[in-house]
Each structure stands twice: as structure tokens, then as C-alpha cells.
Amino acid sequence: MPLAFLNRTLDQELAAIARGISLECLVCGEFVLHRGAVIACPECGLLLEPEEHGAVAASEREGRSTG
């Protein structure tokens, strides 16, 4: 019997989230929210945007100032 790998690559995970098959954040594992073309994680602030909007992945926390 051949071995079946259960781990998915990052590309496969991103494709699953973009298609709505997976609802789990790649960073923290919480549920993500689909806001039109943008996919956001309310827990860690991860944002996934289509390439035509400029960035494939960005974090809201990177743009926030601490003061």
C-alpha cells in the first residue's frame, strides 16, 4: 500500500482558502471572513487580497502604529 501524504503545500492551502473550501487562517488557525474578494482573519489580522488589488497577502498589524 503506498503512502499518502496528508500535508498540503502553501500553494494548495491558499487555493483552498481562495475557493472557499477551507475557512481556516494559515497563520493562527481561526476562521476567516470573506469580504468580497478580500479574505481576512479577525483574530490575527491577516489579509489576503487578489493580485489585481496590489498585494497577495498583507497583515493589518504591519500598517498600524503602536502609539
Between the CA of residue 19 and those of 6, 22, 27, 30, 34, what are the distances in Å? 19, 8, 18, 17, 10
Task: For residues 58 and 67, give the distance between their C-alpha atoms in angstroms, rounded to a whole number.
Answer: 21
Nearest CA among 44, 43, 51, 42 for reference residue 18 = 51
Instruction: Quote the domain boundaries for residue 27.
Output: 10-63
| Residue 4 within a domain | no
**Domain annotation covers residue 3:** no
- Give mean pLDDT, residues 22-40: 90
* Span 3-19, pLDDT tens digits: 777 777 888 888 888 88
- Residue 22 in any domain: the answer is yes
- List the strands of the sheet with 38-40, edge to edge: 33-35, 38-40, 46-48, 57-59
Question: Does a structural domain hold residue 49?
Answer: yes
Total domains, the chain: 1
Does position 54 have pLDDT exceeding 80, yes or no? no
Structural domain includes residue 29: yes
Instruction: Give the pLDDT band of residue 67 (cuts 50, 70, 90).
Output: very low
